[in-house]
Structure 1
Amino acid sequence: MTDLAATPETSADAPSLALRRGLMLILCLGLALAVTSLMVRILEVNGWSWAEVGALICFILTLPWTVLGFWNASIGFCLVHIAGRLGVDPVAAVNPRLVPKDDARPITTRTAITMTIRHEDPAQVIARLRLMRADLEASGWGRHFHFYLLSDSARPEAAAAEEAAFAAWKATDAHPEELIYRRREQNTGFKAGNVRDFLTRFGCPYDFFLPLDADSLMGARSILRLVRSLQAFPQVGLLQTLVVGMPSGSFFARAFQFGMRQGMRTYTMGSAWWQGDCGPFWGHNALIRLAPFRDHCELPVLPGTPPLGGLILSHDQVEAALLRRAGFEVRVVPEEGESWEENPPALPDFVKRDLRWCQGNMQYFQLLGLPGLKAPSRIQIGLAILMYVGAPAWMGFLVFGLAQAFLPAGPAPYPADLGLTLFAVIMTLSLSPKLLGVLDLLIQRRERQRYGGTLRLVGGALIELVLMTLLAPVIALIETRFMLGLLFGKAVGWDAQQRQGYRVRWGQAAHGLWLPTLFGGLYGLGLWIGAPGALPWAAPLLTAYLLSIPLCVLTASPRFGALCHRWGILAIPEEIDASAPVHTLPGAIGPR
């Protein structure tokens, strides 16, 4: 293990970060107050009813992420296209602890690449590790990396398959001692417990470790750049890559990852501008300085019983905050660079993952007062909570709005001009991350070509926008029901995710989505009785709820997904680039 004098220091951009964070706070509060004042002017026209007070409170709770998303995307867009034209490298400006892409300094450290699994397909898992292993070998630095497959599988047949597949890999490798398989009998602490067990039992020989999920893949160029950066800057404890989706034959996954890909660069660039050394950790595809993480990032056990007490389910952001509390910087690489994951192939799988994150984030209420945290880290924990609080707040806003229709009307007419203005403002704020992300690509010829041209890029963006507009209200209602269940002890488990596309049957979709369908019918009936003039405005919302079941079935259809792949609909760059390494994986859909 190399001595890197890994001692925390003051960030090089600390004075600048203080100004940026102050400006970001002013921008966000100013915009939120302006939008809130506009809503107050609308609601106070005929005095205040209990429904209007409730609607205002719910409206305010939905604003933090809307306002933050607007400013993150706007600042990121300006950094990429204005600072870039002035000769300033935006990536270096927001992350000065990153070596250039062409840096070729020697690798002098040892890194453990760890993949945590539980009841996964071992063929798929080991294929990813083998591809990464071969890429690192080709770079000439393969001896500096050991690979660990960390299993938490409890089913005997799954464990036997893993052991057999791993043994077959070792038998063909020139250095089998660098490949280690370990299985725990108990899934104590979930994924974080799995990693903690590795750190305490196997971590001593290594300077860094790179945690991967079972669906992760990274290229050698990205890994080596991270290693060289941590070698060059011992005060950095964690470097998080920008993770993008792999090509998929599922229409749902194609739409989700296409939309995420558009706005991710500008959004992450803007967030990195103010987060700086208190950046995010997404739990995988990040390089971590092992000793500080092991010594300072053990998760606390929360008071009370599950689901809101006990072991922490969403570990990553807490670990980032603890590492920063120990004096080590946590930073993100705000640009694409050979770092991939898979996305859920259907709405039921997306919901299952989303609710697990929701449960974990709701545990953060008990961590807001954790002593010693940096202010940005504490803000990020609060934002993680508000990410899901926004769903019931939005649903509450709808319910209070409907209730107002059945209360006595006041003498003054509804201020339609203010209502239209507020609608336009909210739509602009909400859509700005997507719109600026697409504009970011449209004004760059090379990026347009990577997506198959302007027509495919714009067409895909419109399809994704319509689909996610229809799915967002459905997901918000499901999250709201789940969060109410948390108060009564309802919880989700942690098991293998469905990664391959499949056909969702009508009965399965109806079982999971009867509530949104029922809610849409009752809400539409309520508007027809109490405020029929609002029905045209509510049509998109009602359509989302009433079509949730057929939409779930359609977007998961393998035949529909294959058709979209054949026609290049919602294609991402790796799908168009025949040389992308993801095409060599088993079951890859291949270039179009």
Structure 2
Amino acid sequence: MDGSFENAAGQARARVALRWRRIGFSALVLGSCAALLGLMAATLFVEAPDPVGIAMLLLFALTLPWTTIGFWNAVIGFSLMTFCRDPAGLVAPHLRSIGGTEKIASSTALLICIRNEDTGRLQRNLGWMLEGLVASGESRWFHLYMLSDSNQAPIIEDEQRVAAELSARFGSALSITYRRREESSGFKAGNIRDFCERWGSLHQFAIVLDADSVMTPAAMLRLVRIMQVQPHIGILQTLVTGLPSASPFARIFQFGMRLGMRSYTLGAASWQGDCGPYWGHNAILRIAPFTEHCHLPVLPGKPPLGGHVLSHDQLEAVLMRRAGYEVRVLPEENGSWEENPPSLPEFIRRDLRWCQGNMQYFHFLSLPRLLPVSRCQLGLAIAMYLGAPAWLGLMTLGLLRQMPIRADLGALLFILTMVMSFAPKFATLADVLARSPLRQAYGGTARILVSAFLEMLFSMLIAPISAVAVTLFMLGLPFGREMGWSTQQRDAEGIPFALAARRLWLQTVLGFVFAVCFWRVVPGAVWLWAPFVLGLAGAIPLAMASADPRVGRALAAVGLCRIPEEARLPAEPEYATLFAPCAPLSPTGATE
């Protein structure tokens, strides 16, 4: 009785502490937004306010939520990394609720959702994961379900062959079921819903994987052990990092992601708490409440804003939380990977699909009984894509507005905005440089600094390219433009000029138009607008160079944009299959 009382009292104190952290975080974000808006108003309105200036101020306000939230997440995350002995355990106590040797006593389904994917890659990744589970001695508690929505006959035959070969390889050590839906309604969420209705009652948990997902057996077993001892958790999400790639785009992108994610996720976990994120893969679900409470409705109207929900993950997270179950994240980089898009056009295509799905969240903002944090998360998911057209509109109106401004305050505002935008990367970069093992894993101080500069420059160049694509796509949404759910290109093969020109000609034209306009209106501020213009005007050659595997191999050869997995190859050869793109080059160019 005393133990139960102390436990309840401890949980009550934790809830109060979380509430105050949320209040404090909200005050920091709102105060920062107010200060930046005040600085923007002082920059614009040297004289009386004018309609164009007011419109610019409103557009600037739309860009602020993600900037300020990211900044304060980074500040909190950096503080935790610097001053706390166990930062992940502090913000995610469930992470330390197990010792790692607890008996596995729950049946877990492994759900791999596929649609017209490369079956060679699929067989490689699944074989690697299943072999590790069998070696762990716990494979009898797992059952792999290959859930196919493929509609191309040759690929369907290959999928069936892969399933048969995996079944023959692992025999009775681990069960494998292949299922293909004739009618693939509801996208990925519909695919998983079909599993829940057919086989969900046979298992307690489900680990959701995408076709490009890889998890170590230790990471999967850790998820199961935590779920066993934490019955109040409904979804447990791992921190997903990028697999090595021969594509320079993916290599640079995932280096930046590694710099930003740790500080950002630690900071976010400190105030999100039990309302954590769900990214739709590399996570474990408690099947019974997921089946009961996370059934997504078919939205009224036709696609793109009606019909089946495209971005299911965050919505399923808030529904699980509404049902009384926690949604938690493991803010550690430990054995959970995905493949990033190998080229700029593929990155944009994925981004537009997410944009369409997030815009559907407007239907759910008024959903009854959602927690305030959950409702805020849906709003922020929408705001993430409103920022792109807001920035473009802000810059366009700035060129058209014929009113004096405070150039000194404008320069200060630009610097503050840039620092806040890159704060998550700066925070983790500082932490990496301060720790000798991390410095070595990332290639040493000089390579880290050069790589960070390269990545941040690359980010500034591709940001306007993506912003133009998102803006045009959003303008087309009311008229029926949609992305749908198509197969992703995952191989680093380069892209020809014709394809790059067809996809990015408009960005190129706009780049030259903006260059002429900026030069005429603000020729003295070249340092401010040059990255924006150069990114747009150079979109085609930038896309081609960043997709060329030869450039990626050259970066790997000199150790630029190196990620810690590359340091594991010599000492842990079992990772060679997954991390082969990062293997050192021989004089002839072949990987050794």
Given the two structures, how large is their TM-score scaled by the length of structure 2? 0.94
| Preserved CA contact (<8 Å) 2:244 2:579 | no
Cα deviation 1:286-313 (Å, max 9, x = unaligned) = 0111111011000122122110011110
Partner residue of 2:242?
Answer: 245
Partner residue of 1:185?
Answer: 182
Partner residue of 1:310?
Answer: 307
Deviation of the 1:103 alpha carbon: 2.2
Partner residue of 2:577?
Answer: 584
Cα deviation 1:302-346 (Å, max 9, x = unaligned) = 122110011110000000000000000000000111001000000
* Structure 1 residues 98 and 345: CA distance shift in structure 2, 3 A: same
| Preserved CA contact (<8 Å) 2:140 2:173 | no
Partner residue of 1:475?
Answer: 466
Deviation of the 1:174 alpha carbon: 2.7
> Mean alpha-carbon deviation: is it higher for 189-198 or for 118-127?
118-127
Partner residue of 1:28?
Answer: 29
Partner residue of 1:230?
Answer: 227
**Distance in 2 separating the partners of 1:433 and 1:250:** 24
**Distance in 2 separating the partners of 1:556 and 1:306:** 32
| Preserved CA contact (<8 Å) 2:243 2:578 | no
Partner residue of 1:168?
Answer: 165
Deviation of the 1:576 alpha carbon: 2.5
Cα deviation 1:156-209 (Å, max 9, x = unaligned) = 111011101211221222317711111111211011100110111011110100
Partner residue of 2:296?
Answer: 299
**Distance in 2 separating the partners of 1:265 and 1:558:** 28
**Distance in 2 separating the partners of 1:92 and 1:230:** 16
**Distance in 2 separating the partners of 1:339 and 1:172:** 24
> Mean alpha-carbon deviation: is it higher for 280-289 or for 297-306?
297-306
**Distance in 1 separating the partners of 2:82 and 2:526:** 42
Aligned to 1:543, which of 512, 527, 534?
534
**Distance in 2 separating the partners of 1:533 and 1:103:** 60
Gapped regions of structure 1 (runs ≥ 5): 1-8
Deviation of the 1:533 alpha carbon: 3.4
| Preserved CA contact (<8 Å) 1:151 1:182 | yes
Aligned to 1:554, which of 545, 553, 559?
545
Deviation of the 1:491 alpha carbon: 0.4
Deviation of the 1:465 alpha carbon: 0.7
Matches within 5 A, 1:430-579: 430-578=421-569, 579=572
Aligned to 1:345, which of 342, 352, 357?
342
Matches within 5 A, 1:25-424: 25-84=26-85, 89-99=86-96, 102-175=99-172, 178-404=175-401, 407=402, 409=403, 414-424=405-415
Q: Secondary structure at the match of 1:175?
A: helix
2:143 corresponds to which letter in structure 1?
A: H
**Distance in 1 separating the partners of 2:37 and 2:486:** 42
**Distance in 2 separating the partners of 1:587 and 1:135:** 18
Q: Secondary structure at the match of 2:111?
A: strand
**Distance in 1 separating the partners of 2:436 and 2:481:** 50
Cα deviation 1:334-361 (Å, max 9, x = unaligned) = 0111001000000011011000000000
**Distance in 2 separating the partners of 1:54 and 1:105:** 59
Q: Secondary structure at the match of 2:95?
A: coil
**Distance in 2 separating the partners of 1:186 and 1:40:** 54
| Preserved CA contact (<8 Å) 1:576 1:591 | no
| Preserved CA contact (<8 Å) 1:517 1:545 | yes
| Preserved CA contact (<8 Å) 1:154 1:186 | no
* Structure 1 residues 535 and 103: CA distance shift in structure 2, 3 A: closer
> Mean alpha-carbon deviation: is it higher for 198-207 or for 89-98?
89-98
1:340 corresponds to which letter in structure 2?
A: W
| Preserved CA contact (<8 Å) 1:521 1:546 | yes
Partner residue of 1:4?
Answer: none
> Mean alpha-carbon deviation: is it higher for 112-121 or for 131-140?
131-140
| Preserved CA contact (<8 Å) 1:97 1:233 | yes
Q: Secondary structure at the match of 1:239?
A: strand
**Distance in 2 separating the partners of 1:19 and 1:545:** 44
| Preserved CA contact (<8 Å) 1:124 1:585 | no
1:381 corresponds to which letter in structure 2?
A: L
Q: Secondary structure at the match of 2:201?
A: coil
Gapped regions of structure 2 (runs ≥ 5): 1-9, 586-592
Partner residue of 2:20?
Answer: 19
**Distance in 2 separating the partners of 1:475 and 1:368:** 26
Partner residue of 1:6?
Answer: none
**Distance in 1 separating the partners of 2:49 and 2:145:** 61
Given the two structures, how large is their TM-score scaled by the length of structure 1? 0.94
| Preserved CA contact (<8 Å) 1:170 1:176 | no
1:382 corresponds to which letter in structure 2?
A: G
Deviation of the 1:11 alpha carbon: 7.3
1:506 corresponds to which letter in structure 2?
A: F
> Mean alpha-carbon deviation: is it higher for 138-147 or for 17-26?
138-147
Deviation of the 1:102 alpha carbon: 4.3
Deviation of the 1:280 alpha carbon: 0.3
Structure with bigger helix share is 2
**Distance in 2 separating the partners of 1:493 and 1:147:** 27
> Mean alpha-carbon deviation: is it higher for 17-26 or for 528-537?
528-537
**Distance in 1 separating the partners of 2:289 and 2:560:** 45
Percent identity reads 47
| Preserved CA contact (<8 Å) 2:566 2:579 | no
Deviation of the 1:573 alpha carbon: 1.1
- Number of residue equivalences: 574
